[in-house]
Amino acid sequence: MKKLTFIVENFFVKRDFDRFDLQYYLDNNVEVEVWDITEFSNRNFNKLVVPKDIIKQDYVKKFKSSEELKDSFKSLKSNGLVAVHVSLNIRTILIFQLLSKYKINYFTKSGASLKVDPKYGKFSFYRKIINFLERDKKSNIEFFQNLCLRFLPLNFLKISDLPIYFKQAKIADKKTDLRKKLLSKKTKIILSHHRDYDLYLKYKNTDNKKDQSGSVFIDQNTGFHNDLIKIGEFMDPKEWYDSLTNFFKYLEKKYLVKTTICAHPRSNGEINNFVKDYPIIKNKTVELVKNSSFVICQASTAINFAALYKKPMIFVYNHVAMKDKKSKINHAGEVEFYAKAFNKKPININYLNDFDLDKELKIDEEYYDKYISEYLKSWGPKKKISEMTMDLL
């Protein structure tokens, strides 16, 4: 039996099962394992929010120590394939060293998101210096360790060249990523696309009336998002959601628009404690966006679906995103960068005197097409990523 092993550094939930198309592999008699290294690779693991819909099947294995990883790599079959969905850094270098030591056939992906653009959400040079000085000692040590990884040769690091690389979009050429250090003339380059494009194709021709909505808001689980908790970042959820609720009420009163909230796929319903009187639906973002009139958003990759279905977007932020001088993330800058990609300007929902919904609902199709070409579907066959992977087994 063919075997495919996924290595991930985030809790494996239903959304991941769908996005990785695991059912397709299982239906095609492929033995599947998921190696979750979240606890091994995250210093703030005990602060992370554990999703309620985490998958607990036997094929999901959790790793806490380097010894556990070493033992499991020894037992990997040489005729299998490993999908490495982790970045190369000082915390994960052992993964790549073990893959090389045991000559495992594996692939990584380039990443295809506006967030990998080198200019995305950047602070001024002065602010970068301030942030660096305010970081804790361990974070600064890691910073310099990762900096060293950029210059040290692979053979010194005991890492071999990458066997297979899924290049998902043109943005990969701009991306600054240590994984690109693994590329060589021997690396097999596969031109693919963003996984969201697979989901877009899946729902493109469906007609689900019950998922129809006026507007949808793509939630980012403010205050509880594990990616931010990992780096010690926190935003006040109450202030943000109070402001957001007032915006929903404004739309309903002035424009008779009702809003449905797409809950973050890794949330545990935290938003329900802050937002009342509006439907909150989880794991149906694709369908809800497809059947919406327009999308309210910040800087989420789920914007991909709005771009693919050519939905008008209103980019929003408020005082919470702008006021924290010690924030490690330029939240307002991120929203502005996303909006600019669609020839839009973000709206501060605390100040709506000049808000014009008709103006906001106009879209620039040229920018939408450019976004799709740069970040989602630059080339490649119409095969699903799972089908391309099957060809490698």
pLDDT digits (tens, 9 = 90+) for 297-309: 988 889 999 999 9
Q: What are phi and psi of 46, to 5 degrees?
A: -65, -15
SS3 content of the chain, % helix, strand, coil (to 5): 40, 15, 45
Q: What is the mean pLDDT of residues 173-192?
A: 85
Band the pLDDT of 259: cuts 50, 70, 90. very high
| Cβ pair 26, 32 in contact under 8 A | yes
Residue 132 has pLDDT above 80, yes or no: no
Residue 89 has pLDDT above 80, yes or no: yes
| DSSP strand pairing (30-36 vs 164-167) | unpaired
| Cβ pair 194, 169 in contact under 8 A | yes
| Cβ pair 334, 255 in contact under 8 A | no
With vertex at residue 269, the alpha carbon angle to CA 197 and CA 315, rounded to the nearest 5 degrees, is 50
Among 74-88, 130-144, 163-177, 204-218, the least confident range? 130-144
Residue 127 has pLDDT above 60, yes or no: no
Which one is predicted more confidently, 103 or 209? 103
Which one-letter amino acid corresponds to residue 128?
A: K
CA 203, 309, 108, 330 torsion-angle sign = negative
- Orientation angle between helical segments 66-74 and 93-101, nearest 10 degrees: 20
Q: What would be the CATH architecture of the domain defined by 208-375? A: 3-Layer(aba) Sandwich (3.40)
81 closest CA partner among 130, 33, 14, 145? 33
Band the pLDDT of 225: cuts 50, 70, 90. low
Band the pLDDT of 139: cuts 50, 70, 90. confident
Cα radius of gyration rounded to whole Å, the chain: 21
Residue 32 has pLDDT above 60, yes or no: yes
CA 172, 21, 302, 146 torsion-angle sign = negative
Q: What is the pLDDT of residue 373?
A: 93
| Cβ pair 109, 197 in contact under 8 A | no
Residue 126 has pLDDT above 70, yes or no: no
90 closest CA partner among 30, 161, 152, 8? 152
Band the pLDDT of 383: cuts 50, 70, 90. confident
| Cβ pair 361, 312 in contact under 8 A | yes
Cα dihedral 58→63→67→68 (10° resolution): 0
- Measured distance CA(296)–CA(315) in Å, rounded: 6
Q: What is the pLDDT of residue 172?
A: 83
Residue 332 has pLDDT above 90, yes or no: no
Spans of all domains in the chain = 2-120+153-193+378-390, 208-375
Distance between terminal CA atoms of the chain?
A: 10
Band the pLDDT of 104: cuts 50, 70, 90. very high
| Burial degree of 161 (CB within 10 A; 0-12, 13-18, 19+) | middle
Q: Which residue has the tokens 């992977």?
A: 389
Which one-letter amino acid corresponds to residue 344?
A: K
Q: What is the pLDDT of residue 121?
A: 61
Decide whether 2-120+153-193+378-390 matches 208-375 in CATH topology. Answer: yes
| Burial degree of 31 (CB within 10 A; 0-12, 13-18, 19+) | middle
**Which CATH number applies to 2-120+153-193+378-390: 1.10.4160, 3.90.960, 3.40.1130, 3.40.50?**
3.40.50
- Measured distance CA(300)–CA(11) in Å, rounded: 18
290 closest CA partner among 373, 362, 213? 213
Which one is predicted more confidently, 263 or 1? 263
Percent of the chain whose pLDDT exceeds 90:
49
Residue 319 has pLDDT above 70, yes or no: no
Which one is predicted more confidently, 290 or 142? 290
Alpha helices in 20-92 (DSSP H): 22-27, 38-41, 66-74
Report the half-sphere exposure of 131 (CA within 13 A, side-chain side): 19
